[in-house]
Structures are given as C-alpha cells and as structure tokens.
Amino acid sequence: MQHAFLPGEVPALFRPIIAPVAWLGARRPDRRACDTRAVSEHTALLNELAATWHREIPLTATMGIGVESYDGVTLAVRAPLAPNRNVHGTVFAGSLFSACALTGWGAIWLALREHGQDGVIFAADGHIQFRKGVSGDHVCRCTPDAEALKAGIENLRATGRASFHVVCTIDQGDKRAVTFTGQYVVHAKHA
C-alpha cells in the first residue's frame, strides 16, 4: 500500500498525538484530534486519495505531491520545491496550479466518500491569482463551504449531478501567495 505522506514527515493530523507537550500554554486542541477512530478513518481515506492520484495521474508522484493533513474540514496538500522549480529558483506556476487543482479535487473526493457517495469528478473551470513567488516547499489548503457541500451532495443524490465551487490557497510565510478558485462537476457512478 502506498503511503499518503512524504517520507520523513509527521503528518499534521498526527502531531497532536505524537507531541502533546506542544499544547502546554496553548489553546486546547479540537477534540477530533484525539479521536482515534477519526484518525484511522481519515488515514485510510488519505492513503486511498494519494494512491488514486499517483496511480491515475502519474505526474503527481513526479511532482512529489502528498497529503499533509485532513481534519474532516480542511485538506492540506504538500509539494516540495525541487521537482517543481522554475528558472528563477521558485515554484513553477504550472506546478502551483496543479497542486491547487488537485487539492480542490481531493477535498471534494473526501467529502463525497465521507457522505457515502461516489462519483466521477471533473474540473470544469479554474482560475488562479499569483500574488508572490513561492520559494520553497509549499502547502495548498482547501476548506470547502459546509453548506455548499451539503447542498451539492443532496443534489448529487437527487439528480446524479452536482457542481462544487472551492477556493484553495498557498501561503508563503505569513503572506498569501496564491489563490485558486475552481469549479468541479460530479456525475454519480451508476452500478
């Protein structure tokens, strides 16, 4: 079985379990971080997502794209600089777009799985805004709107089709470097 995380990384999902001392003097973590059932369930889904990407889109393995974390709400996907570097020593714009498009796709895929749905996900539209160069390993985050997800999943159940709008972001330090907006269409799989 392929592993969803980059070698040598401690996924953010497991950091509260591995290093509880980091919580001293900090705000108490979300209870979901301590729910081992959620950790096991998410780990299986994340491994399946990463395996799907690497099997169905081989370029993702070459780019070093891996799932960093998922807390049931936000999907974070990591990619290293080295295989995505451009002539300026920063991350190639096409790699940033790809990481964002995959993160949006992955967030929808996870939401469908968690709601017992299966479908074919198509990227229908994507726009990206580059605000500053990304000069190192990067993490793309996507937190789909809960109400929009719920409505989309209900529509998928009722009609066999749904449309989802997501926003994905990449930060460089404490500044927003990239904002991606994507529209995805899902068609229910028929048995």
Look at residue 189 in the predicted model and tell me its pLDDT.
Answer: 86
Per-position DSSP letters for 62-76, written without gaps between them: HHT-EEEEE-SS-EE
User: In the predicted model, what is the mean pLDDT of residues 166-190?
Assistant: 96
* Average pLDDT rounded to a whole number, residues 123-147: 97
User: By the 8 A CB rule, do 130 and 110 touch?
Assistant: no
Say which amino acid occupies 15: R
pLDDT of residue 191: 54
Report d(CA 127, CA 166) in Å as an integer.
11
Q: What is the pLDDT of residues 1-45, one digit of tens each?
A: 344 444 444 444 443 333 333 333 334 444 445 444 445 578 999
Per domain, the residue ranges of the chain are 15-188
At residue 29, the pLDDT reads 46
Kindly indicate the confidence band of residue 183, based on its pLDDT and cuts at 50, 70 and 90: very high
Q: Count Cβ neighbours within 10 Å for each residue of 12-34 and write b for 16 or more, e otherwise.
A: bbeebeeeeeeeeeeeeeeeebe
Quote the CATH superfamily of domain 15-188. Answer: Hotdog Thioesterase (3.10.129.10)
d(CA 51, CA 170): 23
Would you say 43 and 49 are in contact if contact means Cβ atoms under 8 Å apart?
no
Could you tell me which residue, 149 or 36, shows the higher pLDDT?
149
Mean pLDDT in residue range 98-122: 96
What is the pLDDT at residue 190? 73
Tokens of 89: 């020593």
SS3 121: strand
- Per the document, the length of the chain is 191
State the pLDDT confidence band at 72, using cuts at 50, 70 and 90.
Answer: very high
